[in-house]
Amino acid sequence: MSVAVAAVTENDPVLKTDFAVEMVRQMRAIDSYGTFDSWPVERILEPFVLTKEKKREIPIIGDPDEIVLARVKAFYNAISAMIEKECGLMAVPMLNLTHEGFGRALITVGRLVVMDRTLRDVHRFGFPSLSKMKDEADKILSVALNMIGEYPKVAGL
């Protein structure tokens, strides 16, 4: 029998980054009952980390529940908030998902679409580690800010 090891530890340097702080803010924002208020940061972000062992436990075919959908929304909301913080323009995330977990995620700034992702198997949404999640968010943020810099008139509409 194997012992479960926490995927996120309290001394993880990623927890101190602006993105992790924003992710925690987004997760606490969707917590209408205040459950996360007393939780440490690493416990709040733990569900975003899907190790190979955790992923194996999730069926290949399945419908996402409301908790998983809330996590997906929190991830893209955090990226949108980071875009707003960097460029000063309002970024709006939009998710369109079927009940089976397939769909699309968009982030728009003005009339400019700065991110367009096709989502599949949302019931298995997660990242191998917290640093991989931050790397993915940084990549999306970088591309979005480059697009805003290239098309400032469209982003400002």
Q: With respect to residue 6, please indicate whether it lies within any of the assigned structural domains.
A: no
pTM more than 0.95: no
Cα 47 to Cα 36: distance, rounded to the nearest angstrom: 13
Q: With respect to residue 37, please indicate whether it lies within any of the assigned structural domains.
A: yes
The dihedral sign for the CA sequence 154, 20, 45, 26: negative
Q: What is the pLDDT of residues 39-96, one digit of tens each?
A: 999 999 999 999 888 888 888 888 889 999 999 999 999 999 999 999 999 999 999 9
Q: With respect to residue 103, please indicate whether it lies within any of the assigned structural domains.
A: yes
Calculate mean pLDDT across residues 18-42: 92
pLDDT at 1: 37
Say yes or no to pLDDT of 3 above 50: no
Calculate mean pLDDT across residues 97-124: 94
Q: With respect to residue 75, please indicate whether it lies within any of the assigned structural domains.
A: yes
> Can you give the CATH number for the domain in which 146 is found?
1.10.3100.20
Q: With respect to residue 41, please indicate whether it lies within any of the assigned structural domains.
A: yes
pLDDT at 6: 59
The half-sphere exposure of 143 on its side-chain side, counting CA atoms within 13 A, is 13
* Per-residue three-class SS string for 48-82: HECCHHHHHHCCCCCCCCHHHHHHHHHHHHHHHHH
| Domain count of the fold of the chain | 1
Give residue 66's domain range.
13-155
Cα 59 to Cα 124: distance, rounded to the nearest angstrom: 8
